[in-house]
Amino acid sequence: IASVAMPFYNDLAGKELSIPYSNPFFWLILLVAALVLGLFSGSYPAFFMSRFVAAKVLKGQGDNSIGGGRVRNALVIFQFSISVFLIMGTLTVFQQLRFIQGKDLGYGKNQVLVIGGVNSLEGKKQAFKDAVLRISQVNHATLSSNLPTPSARSSGTYLLAEDRSQEKSINMQQWEVDEDYLSTMNLSLISGRTFDLDRFATDSSAVILNEKAVAVLGKTPESVIGTQFVGGLEGGGNLSTVIGVVKNFHYETLRDEVGSLALFHGGEFASNLAIKLNGGDVAQTIAEIENIWRQLAPTQPFDHYFMDDSFNASYEAEQRLGEIFMIFTMLSIIIACLGLLGLATFNAQKRVKEIGVRKVLGAGVGQIVYRLSVDFLKLVGLAVVIALPLGWYAMDRWLQDFSYRIDIPWWIFALSALMAVGVALLTVSYQSIKAAVVNPVKSLRNE
């Protein structure tokens, strides 16, 4: 089983593990583990059997004398508490992932192809961009090292030209973009305008801020237009004028709040070309782009990826956690059901004469099934009561890692409880019905 499961485990954990069959120490550990497991498994019944009171056992009171019922009940509660906890965790993780996938990020990540390493083109970057834009399946393209998904990051401190006091300084992400960045990334301009060097030569020193930066400055999107900044804590940097304000977009993961951002004009040092496609034959479009690349840089590798894939990779840990929760939830439910099935079988066998008497006195199958099942459902109910608060606490702590997160909905509590009770009821009902339909003659023939 371990050999069969290992490839799936490696895929889940991102590892390259293998079972060391040739290592003698491996087999020694297995042997010792088997001996220790057998010792602990056998010690419990052995110790309690040694405490039997012979007179009580012969009178049929052995179970009460050893107190085994409490331990069995405690195990059922413990096992189902774990199951309910994991069910709740699995549902919460996948709901948060669904929230992430469906949240409006403030930019368009779909159908955006990113070509990396364009800095190797040196002076041919603009020629590459222009050639790509002539492809019919390409809508927009932009040169920049900075993208909303994981990419290069840079920050700096800026002072207002009108008031260069340190108290009014602001630390911002500083991205260099070209005039097509907003249209390619589908960013919303809420005030001012975008870069346009053909009409405004001064835009080479202009800046576009996001809403967060404007709020930190204590200004409005309209009043900030025309404000001038200087870079550096001493105010010795270049003078930049605000020409526009973009709506906040999530350029970091949803674990972090949106921070202050400044977009400066400049694509000459860009390492990426982001291309907005309009659908069609994507493979053919990529082949055409690669053909242009080969003409301009025949010795350089053609590196490309889609922005939505990069976005999804940012939450790989959460996706893996969801898969792990799901696997362990299934395992815990199976183990809990095996324990419950064993306990139900034992209980039905112990009460076989009681069931026979009840049937002779006119009890129906439904009444007997109810009597055999209700005690187990009480145990599962207690497990639910224990597990739900613990599950809420643990998942609420996990969600606190995200600045943008869901509130755990009530239906997750209800569904977790219903799933546990439903599985338990199915497990117990099989054995209960089996005991209830037995002919009472067989149960009471020795009486």
For residue 285, what pLDDT band results from cuts at 50, 70 and 90? very high
Read off the pLDDT of residues 257-278 as tens digits, 9 standing for 90 and up: 999 999 998 877 888 999 999 8
> Which residue in 262, 146, 147, 172 sits closest to 208, CA to CA?
262
Same domain, 378 and 440: yes
Please, is 209 exposed, middle or buried when counting C-beta atoms within 10 Å of its C-beta (0-12, 13-18, 19+)?
buried
The residue type at 327: I
* Residue 116 near residue 305 (C-beta atoms within 8 A): yes
For residue 134, what pLDDT band results from cuts at 50, 70 and 90? very high
Same domain, 132 and 257: yes
Same domain, 262 and 145: yes
Phi/psi for 73 (5° steps) reads -65, -40
Same domain, 332 and 251: no
Of 270, 299, 328, which residue constitutes the final position of a domain?
A: 299
111 within a domain of the structure (yes/no): no
**Per-residue pLDDT, 54:** 67
Read off the pLDDT of residues 105-124 as tens digits, 9 standing for 90 and up: 999 999 999 999 898 887 88
pLDDT of 9 above 90: no
For residue 343, what pLDDT band results from cuts at 50, 70 and 90? confident
Read off the pLDDT of residues 220-233 as tens digits, 9 standing for 90 and up: 999 899 988 887 54
Same domain, 18 and 134: no
The tokens describing 47, both together, are 């110790």
Report the number of distinct structural domains present in the chain: 3
18 within a domain of the structure (yes/no): yes
Same domain, 122 and 208: yes
Q: Per 3-state DSSP, what percentage of the chain is helix, strand, and coil (rounded to 5)? A: 55, 15, 30
107 within a domain of the structure (yes/no): no
274-300: average pLDDT? 91
Same domain, 217 and 323: no
- Domain holding 33, by residue range, is 1-53
Same domain, 12 and 136: no
Q: How far is Cα 348 from Cα 433, in angstroms, rounded to an integer?
A: 10
**Per-residue pLDDT, 65:** 44
Of 268, 299, 330, which residue constitutes the final position of a domain?
A: 299
Phi/psi for 145 (5° steps) reads -85, -15
pTM for this predicted structure: 0.78
Same domain, 97 and 127: no
**Count of Cβ atoms closer than 10 Å to residue 293 Cβ:** 25
Read off the pLDDT of residues 143-189 as tens digits, 9 standing for 90 and up: 999 999 988 888 888 888 777 667 777 889 999 999 999 999 999 99
> Which residue in 284, 268, 122 sits closest to 204, CA to CA?
268
For residue 317, what pLDDT band results from cuts at 50, 70 and 90? confident
**Per-residue pLDDT, 135:** 92
**Per-residue pLDDT, 59:** 62
Q: How far is Cα 231 from Cα 262, in angstroms, rounded to an integer?
A: 12
Phi/psi for 361 (5° steps) reads -80, 0
Same domain, 149 and 198: yes
For residue 61, what pLDDT band results from cuts at 50, 70 and 90? low
Query: pLDDT: is 17 or 436 the higher one?
Result: 17
Q: How far is Cα 167 from Cα 171, in angstroms, rounded to an integer?
A: 12
